[in-house]
Structure 1
């Protein structure tokens, strides 16, 4: 049975969300504080953490950072009352896989949960190596020309999708769906910001014709194989 850890201190949100998750067939554990959620996440056997940013004792960003330092495989869905895109980016860079803003529609949140669990459950451990970039999913490690680089969670997922389709054009909608689980983000700058950060970290900021990651205008991106 899929195990979900719900870190939420507002009973008016935690109770109905816990019941909805239970009806979907998930085993649910609720923790109302940051330290308790962190301990459960590190010591328990959970598939997904639904993490509120405004937890007492330790905020959700710090909980997420500490979890990512020790557990890279746990799927993390953030709940936040903040609406500024910069805040969302900070949360994603802390290691969250996705986020939902409050107030949320329960149907939307459950769809995000299912999509996130599918993405995590469907990952392969096959090492991919293209054009001097080596991705090792089991260790969640990336090497460029033999040297390991540090990528934020969404940067890693973005690179993974491109490498899995090396030599092919991957549409913006496909990337938004695979990495963020939400094609409605097409009107934001989220993808472009992360692509810029990814290019910088893999040393791919030279002339466009020399870049490993090519921009196909109006369509998406392609990682070159040579």
Structure 2
């Protein structure tokens, strides 16, 4: 998950960025509105976390601008302003979520994950890459037109990779998103075994690549 963090308090920004990086996120910190705008023009994140009071302006105004320009970009306001009127204003300006300081980092991370997941392609979108097709509506997978029967964890893993086609997904990101049928956290060894079985069931497709000691990616084969 790529996160843009607009926060002028250097201590808060550094601590939160360090925590999210340990979770497998890629965090870009911006202390001012102008820097945040420049970064957003250069590359759009998966989620933007915006402070309200900033040295060069109003984070809520930026929130409103971003919502108009990029309707599907998840936006979370992170601010000391806890008055009900402020919270209502934040949502009215386009925020998807609103967290007040002080905050629990694990709870904030869970909220960011929820926003990220909701921003993914909807259930009617067929995902594909290099002969692999996954139909979320039918929960059906085919490879080169042949149906492939996957266990729930294998299906979820493939879905995550297809949703991030063209990007490397870290093992930490996958571990944070994968849960077994009983809702238990998937450990590193289970991820390795699940990936091995997925590759075998798909006939070891060339489009599914391992980024050594980092993660995995799906990318369309070069013509």
Residue matched to 1:143: none
CA contact (8 A) 1:4 1:46 kept: yes
Change (3 A) 1:124 1:36: farther
Residue matched to 1:69: 68
Aligned residues: 125
Change (3 A) 1:94 1:21: same
Equivalents in 1 of 2:116, 2:27: separation in Å? 14
- Secondary structure in structure 2 of the residue aligned to 1:121: coil
Residue matched to 1:51: 50
Residue matched to 2:13: 14
Q: CA RMSD in A?
A: 1.6
Alignment deviations for residues 150-179 of structure 1 (CA, whole Å, 9 cap, x no partner): xxxxxxxxxxxxxxxxxxxxxxxxxxxxxx
Equivalents in 2 of 1:98, 1:21: separation in Å? 18
Equivalents in 1 of 2:70, 2:123: separation in Å? 17
Residue matched to 2:28: 29
Residue matched to 2:191: none
Equivalents in 2 of 1:27, 1:67: separation in Å? 20
Residue matched to 1:105: 104
- Secondary structure in structure 1 of the residue aligned to 2:54: coil
Equivalents in 1 of 2:124, 2:6: separation in Å? 29
Equivalents in 1 of 2:10, 2:102: separation in Å? 14
Alignment deviations for residues 79-125 of structure 1 (CA, whole Å, 9 cap, x no partner): 11111111111001111100100011111111111111111125356
**What are the ranges of 5 or more consecutive residues in structure 1 without an aligned counterpart?**
127-226
Residue matched to 1:78: 77
CA contact (8 A) 1:51 1:60 kept: yes
Task: Find the structure with the greater CA-based Rg.
Answer: 2
Report deviation, 1:43: 3.3
**What are the ranges of 5 or more consecutive residues in structure 2 without an aligned counterpart?**
126-223
Name the TM-score, length of structure 2 as normaliser. 0.53
Report deviation, 1:59: 1.1
CA contact (8 A) 1:42 1:71 kept: no
Moved over 6 A (4+): none
Equivalents in 2 of 1:124, 1:77: separation in Å? 24
CA contact (8 A) 1:41 1:49 kept: no
Change (3 A) 1:8 1:14: same
Residue matched to 1:90: 89
Change (3 A) 1:85 1:25: same
